[in-house]
Amino acid sequence: MKLTGAGFCFDFSKKTHIMGVLNVTLDSFSDGGLYLNREKAIEHAHRLVADGADIIDIGGESTRPGSESIPWKEEVARIIPVIQAIAKVIRVPISVDTYKAEVARRALDAGAVIVNDVSGLQFDTEMPKIVAQYAVPLIIMHIKGKPRDMQKNPLYEALIPEILDYFRASTKRAVGSGICENKIIIDPGIGFGKTYLHNLEILKNLSEFKSLAKPIVVGVSRKAFIGKILGNVSASERLEGTASAVAISILNGADIVRVHDVKEMVKVAKVADAIKRGGLTPSENQ
């Protein structure tokens, strides 16, 4: 399985790809406020690339549980200068983490080449048109509710089948709007309208999503369920737990892992890939 876009081609048969997180936000749960300064954000982007990121995912609005939406103009003001500054000088594709069509459009004009929509095309009816117009890859994430209320007692009758149905419906909507099916990526949305046990069930049964024949993104980095397992530790103390969850995600079918700690997770992915594939990649064996 491969994913192609402007200036890149990911071959998922060879390795798991690493998506590095760059939040240009005030209130993201793990790194909110750290990279609001443009120069610090640019410096961090270069660090992520140096550490081995295959994609840089840039977002200007927090979608942590309980967060509120911000005006699209504010989101644009945060991320566009950063995207413009790094798009011409880094060697990896930039993804824009937004569910707003106008933000996506401006980010794509600025140099982003992937759209990461946490709403799975639910929140902005114009988003499919923008993605189709620019013919870029699209990450469709599963979410139940909206960030402000998604963790208020999320209920499912059958978790995995319901998420599979959601992806089928979202894919149909995307393709019907002109988005190429081979450019669609799915993300089961760990922590987005899921309880602690839901998250564990998704990771345990991640291979079931392979039935959709789409690349799978998993974002477990520093999330609350890891903190709970480790005794309610803070986000800064979840590195080892994240490493474990990333390794299991890879073994169970993840093609892309979205992480904050790129340098460490590159190493985790290399080991997990070697175990999963029965050895090093051909290029590493030479």
- Residues designated as active site: 223, 258
**Residues whose CB is less than 8 angstroms from the CB of residue 225 and which lie 6 or more positions away in sequence, other chains included:** 190, 191, 196, 199, 200
Q: What is the CA radius of gyration of the chain?
A: 17
CB 112 within 8 Å of CB 75: no
**Residues whose CB is less than 8 angstroms from the CB of residue 6 and which lie 6 or more positions away in sequence, other chains included:** 93, 113, 136
**Residues whose CB is less than 8 angstroms from the CB of residue 18 and which lie 6 or more positions away in sequence, other chains included:** 52, 53, 54, 55, 256, 257, 259, 262, 265, 266, 269
Q: Which of 72, 38, 34, 93 is nearest to 222 (CA)?
A: 34
